[in-house]
Amino acid sequence: AQSVTQLDSQVPVFEEAPVELRCNYSSSVSVYLFWYVQYPNQGLQLLLKYLSGSTLVKGINGFEAEFNKSQTSFHLRKPSVHISDTAEYFCAVIPNQAGTALIFGKGTTLSVSS
Amino acid sequence: IAGITQAPTSQILAAGRRMTLRCTQDMRHNAMYWYRQDLGLGLRLIHYSNTAGTTGKGEVPDGYSVSRANTDDFPLTLASAVPSQTSVYFCASSSGQGNTGELFFGEGSRLTVL
């Protein structure tokens, strides 16, 4: 079975500061990894994903994440956040097997203030 | 392009009543999913369908049923609603090719069971 742990439920930061949202996963098989963002009163949208290849993946809105297989982590980073980045962020994993579904972490609320 | 349409957007329901949440997609995606989102618990998979005519149980299927008569529609039914089913429900779809897991979400249906 797979599981996802987002280590921080809330992350408050000031505008233009860097931010890291932490995600660890466990799985007995190889997986694909994702970060989704949910703005208030909206559905989720894909930020970025790791399928294979380079362990550093870049997504929309200046976010990037690094896959670390030895530490089973997939932390999300942004060097300088904006007020508009305030949202809920979800890390998700799916086994590299047919017929399975995404498993989400519990989410991290990023609050950016001026 | 509408993507995924969910209805209703919001509903208040008396306990014991039957309720169907509708979900329609126009992307011709093979796979569809129902998640519920609860504060502090993230998104949990209720039911899924990898292709028309097939369905499967997710993490929290009890009290819910689904059907997939065609590619576009994936309704979720609560046969006899209970207060613990108060939640925000998200329908999602994916092309299902290569199991890359990218999901496209609807805007959600907020359900309150009294």
Domain that holds residue A92: 3-113
CB of A92 within 8 Å of a chain B CB? The answer is yes
Domains of chain B: 4-113 (2.60.40.10)
> Which among A46, A103, A105 is the nearest to B102, CB-wise?
A46
User: In a 10 Å sphere around its CB, with 0-12 CB exposed, 13-18 middle and 19+ buried, how is residue B80 labelled?
Assistant: exposed
| Min Cα separation A40/chain B (Å) | 11
pLDDT mean for each 10 residues of chain B (114 residues): 89 97 95 93 92 92 97 97 97 75 88 97
| The predicted structure's pLDDT at residue A52 | 86
- pLDDT one-digit tens code per residue, A80-97: 999 999 999 999 998 877
CATH classification of the domain holding A105: 2.60.40.10
Q: Is the pLDDT of residue A30 over 90?
A: no
Q: What is the dihedral of CA B26, A37, B107, B56, to 10 degrees?
A: 70
Q: Chain B contacts of A107, Cβ < 8 Å?
A: 42-43
Query: First and final CA of chain B: distance in angstroms?
Result: 36
What percentage of chain A carries pLDDT values higher than 90? 75
| The predicted structure's pLDDT at residue B97 | 57
Report the number of distinct structural domains present in chain A: 1
Q: Which range, of A7-21, A23-37, A88-102, averages the lowest pLDDT?
A: A88-102
